Amino acid sequence: MNQASSVHQRRRAPTANELKDIPWLLLLSDEERAQIVPQLAVSDPQTGDYVCRIGRPVTYWFGVISGLLKMNVDNESGQPMTFTGIPPGGWFGEGTALKREIYRYNIQALRPSLVAGMPVDTFHWLIDHSLGFNRFIMQQLNERLGQFIAAREMDRMTNPELRLARHLAALFNPVLFPGVGEVLRITQQELAYLVGLSRQRVNEALRVLEERQLIRTEYGGLRILELQGLRTVQLDK
């Protein structure tokens, strides 16, 4: 079965509660929302399902209502290389949508998730008509640039605790992922996929960060105690 097709085939209209979890809707005028909301759709990718695939043309601009996605590509040896995770509140692919390009990355569900989508033509209508939406997209692009610069730096980090700290800081970004808040619902195995470490090594690194009072592990997730500390902490190699 074509995973992308099955995700697309299961799309439906969002509920009122799901619309409340779309942060940029609040920036639109009443007239703009009336134009846009009927064109929004949601679907429920399951673990391993693809939302976007390399080489496919962009058709929607996507955001995460609940769950967790990952953005990855295949490296020269054909092994998947993960750039970042996308937790609740995160909208992605605006650069691809703006240029109407093919995807240069895969977006895949790490767990059963709920994803919202807006048709790319509707996305461009908002760009042409909404000042509030334009400001949102400009802020997204600015934060995204910083995110990918940080991702390149993380690729060169050999200290597991440092890699994990920087990845967690990226996942707690309040601009890109406003739905996360202070607690990120994530398992150690999911973190292992995102950071590129074994589950055992992630467990050890979490203990180090907890000893530094940067995070606190809770049932089903992690609570951030010091976001700036995760971004700047220096650890011995």
Number of domains comprising the chain: 2
- Which residues does residue 222 pair with via DSSP β-bridges, in sequence order? 184, 217
| Section 60-82 average pLDDT | 82
Residues 163, 84: contact at Cβ < 8 Å? no
CA distance linking residue 17 with residue 4, whole number of Å? 25
| Section 205-217 average pLDDT | 93
Is 237 contained in some domain? no
The pLDDT of residue 1 is 44
Say yes or no: 181 and 132 in one domain. Answer: no
Decide if pLDDT at 210 tops 80: yes
Residues 83, 72: contact at Cβ < 8 Å? yes
CA distance linking residue 164 with residue 89, whole number of Å? 21
Say yes or no: 113 and 193 in one domain. Answer: no
CA distance linking residue 72 with residue 48, whole number of Å? 12
- Which residues does residue 30 pair with via DSSP β-bridges, in sequence order? none
Mean residue pLDDT across the chain: 88
Question: Which DSSP symbol is given to 25?
Answer: G
CA distance linking residue 144 with residue 138, whole number of Å? 10
For 127-184, how does the pLDDT look when each residue is reduced to its tens digit (9 = 90+)?
999 999 999 999 999 888 877 766 666 666 678 898 899 889 888 888 899 888 888 8
Say yes or no: 70 and 175 in one domain. Answer: no
CA distance linking residue 12 with residue 114, whole number of Å? 11
Token pair of 71 as six digits: 């953005």
Say yes or no: 117 and 28 in one domain. Answer: yes
Q: Among the three residues 150, 166, 193, which one is the final residue of a domain in this structure? A: 150
The pLDDT of residue 236 is 59
Domain that holds residue 228: 158-232
Q: Which residue has the higher pLDDT, 121 or 219?
A: 121
CA distance linking residue 26 with residue 152, whole number of Å? 33
Helix 160-171, helix 188-195: angle, nearest 10: 100
Question: Which DSSP symbol is given to 137?
Answer: H
Decide if pLDDT at 223 tops 70: yes
CA distance linking residue 168 with residue 36, whole number of Å? 33
The pLDDT of residue 77 is 63
The pLDDT of residue 80 is 63
| Section 199-210 average pLDDT | 93
Token pair of 176 as six digits: 């890109």
Q: Which residue has the higher pLDDT, 63 or 76?
A: 63
| Section 98-104 average pLDDT | 94
CA distance linking residue 237 with residue 235, whole number of Å? 6
Say yes or no: 117 and 187 in one domain. Answer: no
For 36-59, how does the pLDDT look when each residue is reduced to its tens digit (9 = 90+)?
999 999 999 999 999 999 999 999
Calculate what percentage of the chain has a pLDDT beyond 70. 89
